[in-house]
Amino acid sequence: MTREEIIRPENKVYARPELLTDNVTHYCPGCSHGVVHKIIAELLAEMNVADKTIGIAPVGCAVFAYNYIDVDWIEAAHGRAPAVATAASRLNPDSLVFTYQGDGDLSAIGTAETIHACNRGENIAIIFINNAIYGMTGGQMAPTTLLGMKTATTPYGRTAELNGYPLAITNLLAQLDGTCYVTRQAVHTAAAVRKTKAAIKKAFQNSMAKKGTSVIEIVSTCNSGWKMTPAQSNDWMAEHMFEKYPLGDLKNE
Amino acid sequence: MEEEVRLMKGNEAIAHAAIRYGADGYFGYPITPQSEVLETLAELRPWETTGMVVLQAESEVAAINMVYGGASTGKAVMTSSSSPGVSLKQEGISYLAASELPALIVNVMRGGPGLGTIQPSQADYFQATKGGGHGDYHLIILSPATVQEMTDFVALGFDLAFKYRTPAMILADGIVGQMMEKVVLPPQRPRRTEEELRAQCPWAACGKGDRKNRNVVTSLEMDSTKMEQNNLRFQETYRLIEENEVRCQEYYTDDAEYLIVAFGTVARICLKAIEEAREKGIKVGLLRPITLWPFPKKNIGKLSKQVKGILTVELNAGQMVEDVQLAAECRVPVHHFGRMGGMIPNPTEILEALVTKLSIAQ
Amino acid sequence: MKEEILIAGFGGQGVLSMGKILAYAGLMDNLEVTWMPSYGPEQRGGTANVTVILSDTAISSPVLDTFDTVVALNQQSLDKFENKVKAGGTLIYDPSGIHHLPTRTDISVVPVDAMQASIELKNSKTYNMILLGALLKLRPIVGTDAVLRGLKKTLPERHHHLLPLNEQALLKGMSLV
Hey, what domains does chain B have and what are their CATH numbers? 4-195 (3.40.50.970), 248-357 (3.40.50.920)
Over residues B141-163, mean pLDDT: 98
Q: What is the pLDDT of residue B361?
A: 85
- Omega before C164 within 30 of 0, i.e. cis: no
Q: What is the pLDDT of residue C12?
A: 80
Assess if residue A22 is contained within a domain.
no
- Omega before B113 within 30 of 0, i.e. cis: yes
Q: Which residue of C has its CA nearest to B271?
A: C60
Over residues B248-254, mean pLDDT: 98
Hey, what domains does chain C have and what are their CATH numbers? 2-175 (3.40.920.10)
Partners of A53 in beta bridges: A96
- Structure confidence by residue, pLDDT tens digits, C51-103: 999 999 999 999 999 999 999 999 999 999 999 999 999 999 999 989 999 99
Query: Do A and C make contact, counting contact as 3+ CB pairs within 8 angstroms?
Result: no
**C-beta separation of C44 from C55 below 8 A:** no
Distance, CA of B221 to CA of C166 (rounded, Å) = 67
Q: How many domains does chain A have?
A: 1
Nearest to B359 by CA among B323, B335, B330: B335
Q: What is the pLDDT of residue A10?
A: 83
Name chain B's partners: 3 or more CB pairs within 8 A: A, C
Q: Do B118 and C41 touch (CB under 8 A)?
A: yes
Assess if residue A56 is contained within a domain.
yes
Q: What is the pLDDT of residue B27?
A: 98
Q: Do B65 and A83 touch (CB under 8 A)?
A: yes
Q: What is the pLDDT of residue B134?
A: 97
CA-CA-CA-CA dihedral for C66, C71, C75, C77, to nearest 10: -40
Q: Do B182 and C39 touch (CB under 8 A)?
A: no
Q: What is the pLDDT of residue A14?
A: 84
Three-class SS of residue B286?
A: strand
Q: Is C141 on the interface with B (CB under 8 A)?
A: no
How many beta-carbon pairs below 8 A join chains B and C? 70
Q: Is A83 on the interface with B (CB under 8 A)?
A: yes
Q: Is B34 on the interface with C (CB under 8 A)?
A: no
Q: What is the pLDDT of residue C45?
A: 58
**C20, C24, C32, C35: which to substitute to probe chain B, counting the most B Cβ within 10 Å?**
C35
Q: Do B62 and A52 touch (CB under 8 A)?
A: no
Contacts of A68 in chain B (CB under 8 A): none
Of B118, B181, B349, the CB nearest to C33: B181
Q: Is the pLDDT of residue B362 over 80?
A: no
**C-beta separation of B319 from B122 below 8 A:** yes
- Structure confidence by residue, pLDDT tens digits, A64-117: 999 999 999 999 999 999 999 999 999 999 999 999 999 999 999 999 999 999
Contacts of B69 in chain A (CB under 8 A): 56, 74, 76, 83-88, 91
Phi first, then psi, for residue B120 (nearest 5°) are -65, 155
Q: What is the pLDDT of residue C33?
A: 97
Distance to chain A for B178, nearest Cα, Å = 29
Of B179, B268, B346, the CB nearest to C60: B268
Assess if residue A88 is contained within a domain.
yes
Assess if residue A217 is contained within a domain.
yes
Distance, CA of B112 to CA of B116 (rounded, Å) = 4
- The conformation of residue A228, written as its DSSP 8-state character, comes to S
- Structure confidence by residue, pLDDT tens digits, B56-70: 999 999 999 999 999
- Count other C-beta atoms under 10 Å from residue B216's C-beta: 20
Distance to chain A for B209, nearest Cα, Å = 5
Distance, CA of B298 to CA of B294 (rounded, Å) = 11
Contacts of B5 in chain C (CB under 8 A): 27
Assess if residue A62 is contained within a domain.
yes
Distance, CA of A31 to CA of A126 (rounded, Å) = 19
Q: Do B272 and C61 touch (CB under 8 A)?
A: yes
In angstroms, the Cα distances linking C156 to A178, B152, B165, C148, C159 are: 36, 27, 42, 13, 6
Q: Is C1 on the interface with B (CB under 8 A)?
A: no
- Count other C-beta atoms under 10 Å from residue B229's C-beta: 12
Q: Do B179 and C33 touch (CB under 8 A)?
A: no
Q: Which residue of A has its CA nearest to B95?
A: A77
Residue C41 binned pLDDT confidence (cut-offs 50, 70, 90): low
In angstroms, the Cα distances linking A203 to A98, A129, A206 are: 9, 15, 5
Q: What is the pLDDT of residue A159?
A: 97
Residue C44 binned pLDDT confidence (cut-offs 50, 70, 90): low
Q: Which helix H or strand E contains C110, and what residues bound it?
A: strand C108-111
Cα-Cα end-to-end distance for chain A: 52
What is the average pLDDT value for chain B, to the nearest integer?
Answer: 97
Assess if residue A4 is contained within a domain.
no
Q: What is the pLDDT of residue B230?
A: 98
Nearest to B133 by CA among B167, B156, B157, B161: B167
Distance to chain B for A126, nearest Cα, Å = 15
Over residues B2-12, mean pLDDT: 96
- Structure confidence by residue, pLDDT tens digits, C137-172: 999 999 999 999 989 888 888 989 999 999 999 999
Nearest to C70 by CA among C15, C115, C113, C114: C15
Domain coverage including residue A229: 29-144+154-252
Nearest to A129 by CA among A67, A42, A64, A187: A187
Those of residues 95-114 in A touching chain B at CB distance below 8 A are: 95, 112-113
Q: Is the pLDDT of residue C47 over 90?
A: no
In angstroms, the Cα distances linking B252 to B158, B248, B283, C131 are: 31, 14, 8, 40
Q: Do A113 and B207 touch (CB under 8 A)?
A: no
Query: Do C and B make contact, counting contact as 3+ CB pairs within 8 angstroms?
Result: yes
* CATH code of the domain covering residue A224: 3.40.50.970
Class of residue B255 by CB neighbours under 10 A (exposed 0-12, middle 13-18, buried 19+) = exposed
**A74, A80, A101, A119: which to substitute to probe chain B, counting the most B Cβ within 10 Å?**
A74
Contacts of A92 in chain B (CB under 8 A): 73, 75, 206-207
Q: Is the pLDDT of residue C42 over 70?
A: no
Of B63, B67, B214, the CB nearest to A72: B214
Residue A4 binned pLDDT confidence (cut-offs 50, 70, 90): confident
Query: Do A and B make contact, counting contact as 3+ CB pairs within 8 angstroms?
Result: yes
Strand B77-81 with B104-109, pairing: parallel
Name chain A's partners: 3 or more CB pairs within 8 A: B
What is the average pLDDT value for chain A, to the nearest integer?
Answer: 96
Q: Do B180 and C35 touch (CB under 8 A)?
A: yes
Residue C40 binned pLDDT confidence (cut-offs 50, 70, 90): low
Class of residue B122 by CB neighbours under 10 A (exposed 0-12, middle 13-18, buried 19+) = buried
Distance, CA of B105 to CA of B126 (rounded, Å) = 16
How many beta-carbon pairs below 8 A join chains A and B? 128
Nearest to A104 by CA among A68, A126, A134, A83: A134
Q: What is the pLDDT of residue A124?
A: 98
CA-CA-CA-CA dihedral for A9, A10, A11, A17, to nearest 10: 50
Contacts of C37 in chain B (CB under 8 A): 178-179
Share of chain B above pLDDT 70, in %: 100
Nearest to B150 by CA among B314, B295, B15: B15
Share of chain A above pLDDT 70, in %: 100
Assess if residue A17 is contained within a domain.
no
Q: Do B265 and C20 touch (CB under 8 A)?
A: no
Residue C13 binned pLDDT confidence (cut-offs 50, 70, 90): confident
Contacts of B120 in chain C (CB under 8 A): none
Q: Is B115 on the interface with C (CB under 8 A)?
A: no
Distance to chain B for A58, nearest Cα, Å = 11
Q: Is B269 on the interface with C (CB under 8 A)?
A: yes
Q: Do B69 and A56 touch (CB under 8 A)?
A: yes
- Structure confidence by residue, pLDDT tens digits, A175-226: 999 999 999 999 999 999 999 999 999 999 999 999 999 999 999 999 999 9
Nearest-5° Cα angle at A123, A119 to A128: 75
